[in-house]
Amino acid sequence: MDFEFTEEQQEYAREVEKFLDEHYDPEVMDVTRENMAQIVDTPKRREFMRKIGDRGWLGMTWPKEWGGQEGEGVYEYILNEALARRGGPQIGKGVGIIGKTLIRHGSEKLKKEFLPKILRNEVEFAVGYSEPQAGSDAAAMELKATRDGDGWRLNGQKIWTTSAHFAEWYWVGARTDPDAPKHYGISLFLIPMDHPGLEIQAIHTIGDERTNSVYFDNVYVGDDYRVGELNKGFQYISEALDLERFTMFTYSPIDQRLELLTEYVKNETCDGEPLRDDPVIRRQIAHLATEGEVARVMGLRFVAQSMKGGKPPTNEASSYKLFATELSKRLANASMDIAGPGSQLRVHTEDAPMKGRSESTYRYTVIDTIGGGASEIQKNIIARRKLGLPKNF
């Protein structure tokens, strides 16, 4: 495949950069929030994304029937990476996960209700897969959905629902057939977050960001808000997770932090000797730079495979997510080691090495290796689906 952008794609990238220059706002764009910068969690960030939608840049790959342009996925990639590079909100869940899943599997009612709102950025979603006893294994979810007339009653708990405290709708998986094997018997639902049967409790993370536990107490949802076929929710969730593993773990912040570390090494000394002359550090930087290029082309490979149509490419999604997030953690560790004790000063400390960026990334990058399926889950997926190894190896 060709890893270079065409002139038309480069022109689009320049147009995006010009837009971001014209709409720069430090309350909207904050690179120090790392991967959590992607969420649209304030009125200003929502208004910014509405402007993105007004330009027709949300849902570019969607069918024209539903307001898209049927464009190539590489344009979505260019937009999302540019937003991530500025620390701005990104297309994320609405366009990249919920919207694409509804287009493939949703009823006409759900498409008509939600797709226009997503394109105008008038709605935010929370995603509910994880549960306390299930960990990163979405197929092990036990949130109970019991038939009740023309709908369902949901009881149980979800955890690590990052957007629950500001989203309008909950995209949630529940077990509709408790007797089926664990990868079956799960269905997907859309539930308003202001439902009186939902209780949201904050969980504050090591990365200074909030996620949530969500408790379901006899939550009723009509069957017309079930997504796709009954008991096939895990298959839809698997497709959506492939999209999440790519769209929500962008490469450009990794590249940015590598540049920051490289500049630090170029200009700093230790015991009167330039860091750039230390053979151990030179080897470490060279290794990280090489791995950074690997992560970049792995991301482009996912884009190329997804443009071929059909389901999102599972192996490429898991390979990219595993490699990129583990590299991000290794880069954070290297920044702490190379910068020495001063790297432990809090982010935005002016006289700290790299203004304290090392300290914040050291905390944030741990979260990235867990979200969207922990690294161990990605290894299992690659082992089974790419290498053909048995489940119990």
Question: Residue 344 CA to chain centroid, in angstroms?
Answer: 27
Distance CA 124, CA 111 (A): 15
What pLDDT score was predicted for residue 240? 77
Q: Give yes or no for a contact between 199 and 213, defined as CB atoms under 8 angstroms apart.
A: no
Distance of CA 242 to the CA centre of its chain: 10
Q: Tell me the C-alpha distance between 130 and 158, whole Å.
A: 6
pLDDT number for residue 209: 86
What CA–CA distances, in Å, run from 141 to 53, 71, 185, 375? 34, 35, 10, 19
21-35, 286-300, 310-324: least confidently modelled range: 310-324
Q: What percent of the chain has pLDDT over 70?
A: 97
Where exactly are the structural domains of the chain? 7-90, 126-231, 249-386
Q: Read off the amino acid at residue 174.
A: A
> What 3-state class would DSSP assign to 356?
helix
Query: Is it the case that residue 327 has pLDDT exceeding 70?
Result: yes
- Which pTM was predicted? 0.89
Domain 126-231 in CATH 2.40.50.140: no
Q: In this structure, what token pair is assigned to residue 167?
A: 């989203």
Stretch 35-39: mean pLDDT, rounded?
87
Which CATH superfamily does the domain covering 249-386 fall into?
Butyryl-CoA Dehydrogenase, subunit A, domain 3 (1.20.140.10)
Residue 296: per-residue pLDDT: 94
Residues 98-131 have pLDDT tens digits of 998 999 999 999 999 999 999 999 999 999 999 9
CB 216 within 8 A of CB 157: yes
* Residues pairing with 187 in the sheet: 174
Assess whether pLDDT exceeds 70 at residue 310: no
In angstroms, the CA 358 to CA 362 distance is 6
For the segment 171-194, the average pLDDT, to the nearest whole number, is: 94
For residue 393, give the DSSP letter: -
Q: Is 50 exposed, middle or buried (0-12, 13-18, 19+ CB in 10 A)?
A: middle
Residue 1 has pLDDT above 70, yes or no: no
- What pLDDT digit, counting tens, does each position of 237-265 carry? 888 777 776 777 899 999 999 999 999 99
